[in-house]
């Protein structure tokens, strides 16, 4: 018996029990749709995080104070005063793998203009910070070196702060706003960046010269952190090594000798590449978890196919006996029921893929979640469908092929 005839027989058998065939395939439909939707959410989240990290600067390097031991008690890193302006100057002058470097100090507080006010964070930086973080001034201008040297009370507003302080859409340039009780003249407004994938508003900030924040707001001589940008992403590790050597020399930290161990770094260096790798690892694990949870329904659908094939074999025992009595071999009977199981699973797979694509689109449209349907997920879905049909349809088909023709004809 050729496969064309076997395919026709399988189609006739499925068409004869339309509702039962649909309910059998329903488990596969739900399973495939769930797998595609869950993987689309996982991949979309991963791509969204990668895009946000790239927007912040894929070659960005962040230097922060390290925790220290005092009297046997480890101190909070945020309270350390290990980063100085001399460290920033040394990195700027000596590090050949760094193209931009900026000191960073910050303070949160209330911004006020007239009857309007809003809480936000003031960041003390220099001009390189815009290049490092890949942000730009949309309206107005950036402060100058002269403003930094004179600790001028000028600032650049993020779009969210500007909208909250000037809800009538008036031009904030040249206006004087207050940070708590300290006046600042607005000289620019940053280009809008929106929310990142972690739900943080990237426009809720105000920039000012770092000398102004250090002297007039914080009254301190040390830095909260230093941010750098490597020449290219490929030399980030070399830049980190250079920065480490410079800071260890500036902080007079001893290297390891035969008689003593090296002093621990009193600073921490993190790169955006490291953050990207960590986030990718987390999202990959989440995607696998979502896929596994959705895959459980595929197993349930496969068991449903096995059950129905068992019922089909029992109902059609006389038919099997008649076919075998007129010359059908056991392998022909096996292929007949196996093709029927594969057809059920593939049909469910096609409907499941369409349903999964529709669900992914709906989630993106209504819930605003980032989704990304990859081609490999669809190919994998069809592969899983075929495997499910073969795996769960094999045993009932084999049982049908092993029936004794005489006993099968006598079956009532």
pLDDT at position 1 is 54
Q: Would you state the structure tokens that stand for residue 107, as one six-digit string?
A: 């303070």
pLDDT at position 262 is 78
Q: Would you state the structure tokens that stand for residue 264, as one six-digit string?
A: 């621990």
Task: Give the separation between CA 216 and CA 182, rounded to whole angstroms.
Answer: 8
Cβ neighbours for 335, distance < 8 A, ≥ 6 positions apart: 3, 6, 397
pLDDT above 60: residue 70: no
pLDDT at position 25 is 82
Which one has a higher pLDDT value, 194 or 159? 159
DSSP SS3 for 408: helix
pLDDT at position 385 is 77
pTM confidence score: 0.62
pLDDT at position 23 is 81
Cβ neighbours for 154, distance < 8 A, ≥ 6 positions apart: 143, 147, 184, 185, 186, 187, 208, 209, 212
Report the residue count for the chain. Answer: 412
Confidence of residue 265 (pLDDT cuts 50, 70, 90): confident
Question: Tens digit of pLDDT for each residue in 152-185?
Answer: 999 999 999 999 999 988 899 999 999 988 999 9
pLDDT at position 326 is 75
Average pLDDT of 352-365?
91
Average pLDDT of 33-57?
78
Q: What is the residue-averaged pLDDT of the chain?
A: 83
Confidence of residue 387 (pLDDT cuts 50, 70, 90): confident
**Most confident segment among 107-111, 264-268, 350-354:** 107-111
pLDDT at position 336 is 80
Task: Give the separation between CA 113 and CA 98, rounded to whole angstroms.
Answer: 39
Task: Give the separation between CA 246 and CA 87, rounded to whole angstroms.
Answer: 8
pLDDT above 60: residue 193: yes
């Amino acid at each position: 018996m050729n496969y064309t005839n076997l395919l026709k027989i399988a189609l006739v058998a499925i068409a004869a029990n339309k509702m039962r065939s649909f309910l059998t395939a329903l488990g596969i439909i739900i399973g495939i749709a769930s797998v595609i939707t869950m993987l689309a959410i996982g991949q979309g989240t991963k791509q969204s995080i990668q895009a946000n990290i790239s927007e912040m600067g894929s070659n960005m390097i962040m230097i922060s104070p390290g925790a220290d031991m005092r009297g046997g008690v480890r101190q909070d890193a945020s309270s350390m005063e290990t980063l100085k302006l001399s460290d920033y100057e040394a990195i700027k002058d000596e590090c050949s793998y760094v193209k931009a470097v900026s000191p960073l100090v910050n303070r949160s507080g209330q911004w006020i203009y007239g009857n309007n006010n809003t809480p936000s964070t003031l960041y003390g930086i220099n001009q390189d910070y815009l290049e490092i973080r890949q942000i730009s001034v949309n309206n107005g201008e950036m402060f100058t070196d002269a403003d930094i040297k004179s600790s001028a009370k000028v600032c650049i507003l993020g779009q969210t702060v500007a909208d909250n302080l000037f809800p009538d859409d008036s031009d904030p340039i040249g206006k004087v706003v207050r940070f708590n009780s300290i006046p600042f003249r607005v000289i620019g407004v940053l280009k809008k960046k929106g929310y990142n994938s972690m739900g943080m508003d990237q426009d809720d900030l105000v920039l000012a010269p770092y000398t102004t924040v250090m002297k007039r707001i914080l009254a301190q001589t040390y830095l909260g952190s230093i941010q750098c940008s490597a020449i290219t992403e490929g030399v980030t590790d070399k830049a980190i090594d250079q920065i480490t050597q410079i800071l260890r020399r500036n902080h007079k930290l001893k290297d390891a000798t035969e008689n003593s161990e090296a002093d621990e770094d009193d600073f921490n260096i993190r790169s955006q590449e490291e953050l990207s790798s960590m986030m990718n690892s987390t999202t990959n694990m989440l995607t696998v978890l979502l896929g596994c949870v959705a895959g459980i329904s595929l197993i349930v659908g496969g068991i449903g196919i096995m059950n129905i094939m068992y019922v089909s074999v029992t109902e059609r025992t006389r038919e099997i006996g008649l076919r075998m009595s007129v010359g059908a071999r056991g392998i022909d009977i096996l292929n007949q029921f196996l093709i029927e199981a594969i057809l059920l699973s593939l049909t469910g797979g096609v409907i499941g893929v369409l349903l999964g694509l529709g669900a992914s689109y709906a989630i993106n449209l209504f819930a605003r979640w980032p989704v990304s349907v990859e081609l490999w997920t669809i190919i994998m879905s069809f592969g899983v469908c075929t495997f499910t049909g073969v795996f769960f349809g094999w045993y009932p088909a084999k049982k049908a092929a092993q029936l004794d023709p005489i006993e099968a004809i006598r079956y009532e």
